[in-house]
């Protein structure tokens, strides 16, 4: 199997430029080899370029969203071509906060996933259910529909350049984590959908992360699960030493 773990920090709308730079300086030389663990920080767009200029060999900088078009009259938006031109290699697509507050839909997620892979930017595609859905027992169906929509009309070669993040909405920023078993079960179901679309070998290779109140205390038990290949982390990614603890847990999984 050998799926390389990923720890992706999603800073959301936190940190000023000086705080962001101080964080990067604090962790830059301490993150593992990038072919052992992929260590990514998804930062606010305004200073992505400053961070890319200061990243050492192993740290990677990502964006938190983008438009699907290369250019156009879309005031305030940022295009895949713009991200590529400043050296961005990852982008979060379809985060539940974007879906909830900025009208991101399954259709726009699909357009953006295509746009990212066409520009050689790795999309971290977020899917996940609300508490109502979890309680109604329809999590797998809802997440399956999100996954199928995200990969619509995408061939396996392109799809292999993506990462999925399963983030139950009820676990984001709430301190309520899915249990490792719950997370693993849903991630296995997502892998099943990938197998159905792209076949068994593909499903064994695609990386699927968990996100939602991951912290220094629960990270090891989450990453110990068979199908969880890493984490997409909000709050706990804001502190350099907490972030490095998460990365070290991934290093342990990789070895
Ligand atoms: P928290 O880790 O703060 O719960 O946020 C999760 C998240 O939304 C990462 O994208």
What pLDDT, on a 0 to 100 scale, did the predictor assign at position 1? 52
Listed in sequence order, the residues at least 6 apart from 156 whose beta carbon sits closer than 8 Å to its beta carbon are 198, 199, 202
Beta bridge partners of 230: 6
What pLDDT, on a 0 to 100 scale, did the predictor assign at position 81? 98
pLDDT tens digit sequence for 187-202: 999 999 999 999 999 9
Tell how far the Cα of 63 is from the centroid of ligand 1, in angstroms: 15
Closest CA to 247 of 196, 238, 237: 237
Ligand 1 pocket, Cβ-based, cut-off 6 angstroms: 10, 95, 167, 172-173, 211-214, 232-236
Q: How far is CA 19 from CA 16, 65, 187, in A?
A: 5, 21, 34
Domains detected in the chain:
6-254 (3.20.20.70)
According to DSSP, the β-strands at 38-42 and 230-233 are: unpaired
Q: How far is CA 157 from CA 62, 113, 114, 146, in A?
A: 22, 13, 12, 20
Give the separation between CA 61 and CA 2, rounded to whole angstroms: 23
pLDDT tens digit sequence for 163-189: 999 999 999 888 888 899 999 999 999
Catalytic residue among 104, 144, 167, 225: 167
- Other Cβ atoms closer than 10 A to 3: 16
167 as an active site residue: the answer is yes
Q: Which atom of ligand 1 is nearest to the CA of 96?
A: 8
Closest CA to 143 of 125, 117, 124: 125
Give the separation between CA 22 and CA 99, rounded to whole angstroms: 31
Give the separation between CA 120 and CA 91, rounded to whole angstroms: 11
What residues in the chain have per-residue pLDDT under 70?
Answer: 1
pLDDT tens digit sequence for 23-43: 999 999 999 999 999 999 999
According to DSSP, the β-strands at 59-63 and 38-42 are: parallel
pTM for this prediction: 0.97
Strand spans (E) along the chain: 6-10, 38-42, 59-63, 90-93, 122-127, 163-166, 207-211, 230-233
């Amino acid at each position: 199997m050998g799926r390389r773990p990923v720890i992706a920090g999603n800073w959301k709308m936190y940190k000023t430029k000086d705080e962001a730079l101080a964080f990067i300086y604090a962790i830059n030389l301490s993150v593992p080899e990038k072919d052992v663990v992929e260590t990514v920080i998804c930062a606010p767009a305004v200073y992505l370029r400053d961070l890319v200029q200061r990243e050492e060999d192993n740290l990677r900088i990502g964006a938190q969203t983008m438009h699907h078009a290369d250019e156009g009259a879309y005031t305030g938006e940022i295009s895949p071509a713009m991200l590529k031109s400043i050296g961005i290699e990852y982008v979060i697509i379809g985060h539940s906060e974007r879906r909830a507050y900025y009208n991101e839909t399954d259709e726009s997620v699909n357009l953006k996933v295509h746009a990212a892979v066409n520009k050689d930017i790795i999309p971290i595609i977020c899917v996940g259910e609300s508490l109502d859905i979890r309680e109604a027992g329809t999590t797998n169906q809802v997440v399956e529909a999100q996954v199928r929509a995200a990969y619509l009309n995408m061939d396996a070669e392109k799809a292999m350049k993506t990462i999925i993040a399963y983030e139950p909405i009820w676990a984001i920023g709430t301190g309520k984590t899915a249990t490792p078993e719950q997370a693993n079960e849903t991630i296995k179901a997502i892998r099943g959908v990938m197998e159905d679309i792209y076949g068994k070998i593909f499903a064994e290779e695609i990386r699927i992360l968990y996100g939602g109140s991951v912290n220094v205390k629960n990270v090891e038990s989450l990453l110990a699960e068979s199908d969880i290949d890493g984490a997409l982390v909000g709050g706990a990614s804001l502190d350099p030493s907490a972030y490095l603890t998460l990365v070290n847990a991934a290093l342990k999984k990789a070895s």
